[in-house]
Amino acid sequence: MNSLSIKNLSKQYPNGVKALSDISLDISDGMFGLLGPNGAGKSTLMRTIATLQQPDSGSLFFNGIDICSDQTQLRRQLGYLPQEFGVYPGESAERLLNYFGILKGIDSNKERASKIREVLELTNLFDVRKNAVSDYSGGMRQRFGIAQLLLNDPKLIVVDEPTAGLDPEERRRFLNLLREISENSVVIFSTHLVEDVTELCQNLAMINKGMALMKGTPPGLVGHIDSKIWVCEIKAAELDSYKAIYHVLSSSFTSQQKVKIRVFSESKPSPDFSATNASLEDAYFIALQGVRVDHAY
């Protein structure tokens, strides 16, 4: 079992932005989702785990390796896919993987060839291995990103917003691939989409403004707010007055003039409301709005 331990991590950029604020997380094998809106600090946290930048304070250990001081040792076990990555135009997947394999120190031609075949098959790119990666679709390109990071058999895999821009089918396929490779390694991936973390993540943390707001399993996080979510259909024009009185989490139009609102409340807000099943999205909105929910921290 691999384990990543992040303790009291903080980081402020020279421009004064506090990107990470006392973040502590314990992560072991499996898929871990880092959910947060733009600017939450996800990429900062991931670059820190990937040894590309140093925190101001706090510690990070992976299987006993101090990530801040033993960068070389950590990188041998690391697979990192940044939010944006470029590929050399016109180069085939197979040639690029060969190049990366050499860079990663797989010196034996035979060993490299067999590893390349293995990662191409795992990511379902074997049939298109001769095609230029620059001509790949978004989903294929992201899978190629996974293929290249798997070359050194990483035990710690960090993937930053991999599903952004993928269509629903590609997204599902990509997340399933992450799940497959997370059986014997720690996979941390970030996203701003609740649906990415709902089904496939064993654990997740919701972060905003550099702070870890809630962490736990998807059912656990939903369980904490179960029987506290209420719905009511109101006139669209009344929305602001409801927001002033109730803790409105979200609203959606049901017709031209009417909206259905979801409200967080310990008890039934008024006779007009009815109970509904809590969702992970409700938990996320509660976290973003900074409401304390007992035990959910």
Interface contacts to ligand ADP, rule CB under 6 A: 13, 15, 17, 19, 36, 38-44
Strand, helix or coil for residue 30: strand
11 versus 143: smaller Cβ distance to ligand ADP:
11
Q: Which does 44 bind (CB under 5 to 8 A by kind): ligand ADP, Mg ion, none?
A: ligand ADP
For residues 34 and 204, the answer to whether their CB atoms sit within 8 Å is yes
Stretch that binds Mg ion, among 38-46, 50-58, 141-149, 262-270 (CB under 5 A): 38-46
Query: How far apart are the two ends of the chain, measured CA to CA in Å?
Result: 25
Minimum CB distance to Mg ion smaller for 151 or for 207: 207
CB of 196 to Mg ion, least distance (A): 14
Per-residue x/- mask for Mg ion, residues 66 to 95, rule CB under 5 A? -----------------x------------
Q: State how far the Cα of 211 lies from the Cα of 259, in Å rounded to an integer.
A: 32
Select 27 or 125, whichever has its Cβ closest to ligand ADP. 27
Shortest separation between residue 161's beta carbon and ligand ADP, angstroms: 7
> What phi, psi does 74 have (nearest 5°)?
-65, -40
In the complex, least distance from residue 283 CB atom to Mg ion, rounded to whole angstroms: 21
Supply the minimum distance, in Å, between the C-beta of residue 47 and ligand ADP. 8
H or E segment at 287?
Answer: helix 280-288
Q: Distance of CA 154 to CAs 18, 78, 186, 276, Å?
A: 30, 5, 9, 43
Cα distances from 171 to residues 139, 184, 232, 254, in angstroms, run 7, 22, 33, 28
Binds Mg ion by CB under 5 A, chosen from 4, 23, 31, 43: 43
Helix (H) or strand (E) holding 148: helix 138-149
User: Residue 17's binding partner, choosing from ligand ADP, Mg ion, none, with beta-carbon cut-off 5 to 8 A by kind?
Assistant: ligand ADP
Instruction: Report the residue number whose CB is nearest to Mg ion.
Output: 43
Query: Which of Mg ion, ligand ADP, none lies near 13, with the C-beta cut-off 5 to 8 A by kind?
Result: ligand ADP
Beta carbon of residue 12, minimum distance to ligand ADP (angstroms, whole number): 9
Distances (CA, A) of 226 to 57, 216, 219, 267, 282: 37, 15, 10, 11, 10
Residues 6 or more apart in contact with residue 137 via CB below 8 angstroms: 170
Interface residues with Mg ion (CB under 5 A)?
Answer: 42-43, 83
